[in-house]
């Protein structure tokens, strides 16, 4: 009898030890984060450590970037893939689709908990917004860059990368859409842009940051209300080929001419995002041109050259009457991407306008 009791006790003890081990290994397990490197200043190299502005972007490979910040391995099991090695102003829809497909493959893997994309800052906002629209996942996706090359005194890339990995590794980042991390601040992809071309605090959003990272801990203060990632109707899995419907941007000013608009129409451009003055205004002497192009099937998207605020529909211009679309608060470069994706699904202006309200 005594023997049976002690055997049972032993079994319970073994079970307890195994459960404790299992529990602690689950609790202690570090998340897996993959860094998708695309180039930019974060991978830039200058001739001298004092060269913070004159350097070549997209030089340093992903493994060197990772090895330069060994502390990221305390936050997650980090591995890297070199998707591109490019300065981001040279990214076209082809590269954008390549990045999106690569990120999509990664987030589908059970053993990937989060993805960080290192990127040039020039078009970082475009890539982040595109991923925000086409990747169906709740896993954290963080796009990060730097303003100083890796070889500069006080390079900002290492700390930005450290924070980006912390963000991608954090369960709190799940389901918040694609995030931009720069200069300690966590931003939403849809409303964040590069606003200063020199300083390390180059990125901003008129609606403010979502939060901050301090010593690898995220502090959250607000959340976006617009559709993104798993709630998006766009899906990279459904986009075929390596181009998107052709959409171009024109810049508003005084003394414009119809030349560029007519040339774009002739070249087969499907939609023009007009970065108009003020409320996306159209000069009275261009209204006929716009309406002629609209009758020919081209979409007219009224955006604004003003960084903040949002374009009001049927104010300044009778959009309902002309069958034009307004870009809401999306800047022209983001409006270009949403329009291109919209055109993969519809040419109905009411539908396109709905998408601008919802994303
Ligand atoms: N123009 C380059 C790029 O966007 C360098 C700028 C940067 O990354 O800060 O890739």
For the segment 220-247, the average pLDDT, to the nearest whole number, is 98
The pLDDT of residue 13: 53
What is the CA(143)–ligand 1 centre distance, in A? 13
For the segment 304-312, the average pLDDT, to the nearest whole number, is 98
88 is in an annotated binding site: yes
Q: Is the pLDDT of residue 189 over 80?
A: yes
Cβ atoms 294, 270 nearer than 8 A:
no
pLDDT in tens, 27-54: 569 999 999 999 999 999 999 999 999 9
Q: For this structure, is 64 an active site residue? A: no
DSSP H or E segment with residue 248 = strand 247-251
Q: Is the pLDDT of residue 91 over 70?
A: yes
List 34, 121, 123, 200, catalytic entry: 121
List 38, 41, 123, 127, catalytic entry: 41
Cβ atoms 68, 83 nearer than 8 A:
no
Any residues with CB less than 8 A from the CB of 333 and at least 6 apart, and which?
A: 123, 125, 126, 193, 249
Domains 30-231 and 246-358 share a fold: yes
Q: DSSP secondary-structure letter at 148?
A: S
Task: Kindly state if the Cβ of 102 falls inside 6 Å of ligand 1.
Answer: no
Confidence tier at 316 by pLDDT (50, 70, 90) = confident
3-state helix/strand/coil string of 173-238:
HCCCCCEEEECCEEEEHHHEEECCCCCCCCEEECCCCCEEEECCEEEECCCCCCCCHHHCCCCHHH
pLDDT in tens, 117-130: 999 999 999 999 99
Residue whose C-alpha is closest to residue 43's, from 151, 123, 115, 125: 151
Other CB atoms within a 10 A radius of the CB of residue 2 amount to: 6
- Which residue's alpha carbon is nearest to atom 8 within ligand 1? 120
Q: How far apart are CA 98 and CA 103, in angstroms?
A: 9
- Long-range Cβ pairs for the range 256-262 (8 Å, 24+): 256/283, 256/285, 256/286, 258/286, 258/289, 261/286, 261/289, 261/290, 261/293, 262/289, 262/293
For the segment 248-260, the average pLDDT, to the nearest whole number, is 98
The pLDDT of residue 27: 54
Q: DSSP secondary-structure letter at 41?
A: G
Q: How far apart are CA 338 and CA 299, in angstroms?
A: 13
- 30-231: CATH number: 3.40.50.1170
Backbone angles phi, psi at 175, to 5 degrees: 70, 15
Q: Estimate to the nearest angstrom the gap between the alpha carbon of 238 and the chain centroid.
A: 19
pTM, whole model, 2 decimals?
A: 0.93
User: Counting atoms of ligand 1 from 1, which one is nearest the CA of 123?
Assistant: 4
The pLDDT of residue 17: 47
Q: What whole-number percentage of the chain has pLDDT above 90?
A: 92
Q: Is the pLDDT of residue 90 over 80?
A: yes
The pLDDT of residue 12: 53
What is the CA(340)–ligand 1 centre distance, in A? 24
Domain residue extents for the chain = 30-231, 246-358
Task: Kindly state if the Cβ of 120 falls inside 6 Å of ligand 1.
Answer: yes
Q: How far apart are CA 353 and CA 351, in angstroms?
A: 5
The pLDDT of residue 64: 97
pLDDT in tens, 116-174: 999 999 999 999 999 999 999 999 999 999 999 999 999 999 999 999 999 999 999 99
Q: For this structure, is 121 an active site residue? A: yes
Token pair for 226: 């617009």
Q: Is the pLDDT of residue 82 over 90?
A: yes
Task: Kindly state if the Cβ of 118 falls inside 6 Å of ligand 1.
Answer: no
Task: Kindly state if the Cβ of 160 falls inside 6 Å of ligand 1.
Answer: no
- Give bridge partners of residue 254 from the DSSP assignment: none
Q: What whole-number percentage of the chain has pLDDT above 70?
A: 92
The pLDDT of residue 21: 45
Residue linked to tokens 């991407």: 337
Any residues with CB less than 8 A from the CB of 163 and at least 6 apart, and which?
A: 144, 181, 184, 213, 216
User: What's the CATH architecture for 246-358?
Assistant: 3-Layer(aba) Sandwich (3.40)
The pLDDT of residue 9: 55
Confidence tier at 26 by pLDDT (50, 70, 90) = low
What is the CA(316)–ligand 1 centre distance, in A? 36
Token pair for 108: 């589908």
Q: Is the pLDDT of residue 73 over 90?
A: yes
């Amino acid at each position: 009898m005594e023997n049976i009791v002690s055997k049972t006790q032993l079994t319970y003890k073994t079970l307890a030890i195994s459960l404790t081990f299992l529990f602690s290994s689950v609790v202690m397990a570090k998340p897996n984060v993959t860094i998708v490197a695309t180039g930019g200043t974060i991978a830039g190299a200058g001739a001298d450590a004092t060269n913070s502005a004159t350097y070549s972007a997209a030089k340093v490979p992903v493994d060197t970037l990772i090895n330069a910040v060994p502390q990221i391995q305390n936050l997650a099991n980090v591995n890297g893939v070199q998707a591109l090695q490019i300065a981001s102003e040279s990214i076209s829809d082809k590269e954008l689709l390549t990045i999106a497909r690569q990120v999509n493959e990664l987030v589908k893997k059970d053993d990937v908990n989060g993805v960080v994309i290192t990127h040039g800052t020039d078009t970082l906002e475009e890539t982040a917004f595109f991923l925000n629209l086409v990747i169906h996942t709740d896993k954290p996706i963080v796009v990060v860059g730097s303003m100083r090359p890796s070889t500069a005194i006080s390079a900002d890339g290492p700390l930005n990368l450290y924070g980006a990995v912390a963000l991608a590794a954090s369960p709190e980042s799940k389901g918040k859409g694609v995030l931009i991390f720069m200069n300690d601040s966590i931003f939403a992809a849809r409303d964040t842009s590069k606003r200063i071309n020199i300083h390390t605090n180059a990125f901003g959003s008129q609606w403010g940051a979502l939060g901050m990272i301090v010593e690898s801990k995220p502090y959250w203060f607000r959340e976006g209300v617009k559709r993104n990632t798993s709630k998006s109707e766009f899906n990279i899995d459904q986009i075929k080929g390596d181009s998107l419907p052709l959409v171009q941007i024109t810049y508003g000013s005084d003394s414009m001419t119809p030349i560029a608009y007519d040339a774009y129409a002739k070249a087969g451009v499907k939609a023009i995002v007009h970065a108009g003055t003020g409320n996306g205004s159209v000069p009275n002497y261009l209204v006929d041109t716009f309406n002629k192009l609209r009758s020919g099937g081209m979409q007219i998207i009224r955006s604004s050259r003003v960084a903040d605020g949002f374009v009001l529909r049927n104010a300044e211009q009778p959009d309902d009457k002309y069958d034009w679309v307004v870009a809401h608060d999306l800047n022209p470069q983001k409006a270009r991407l949403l329009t291109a994706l919209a055109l993969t699904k519809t040419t109905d202006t009411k539908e396109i306008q709905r998408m601008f309200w919802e994303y």
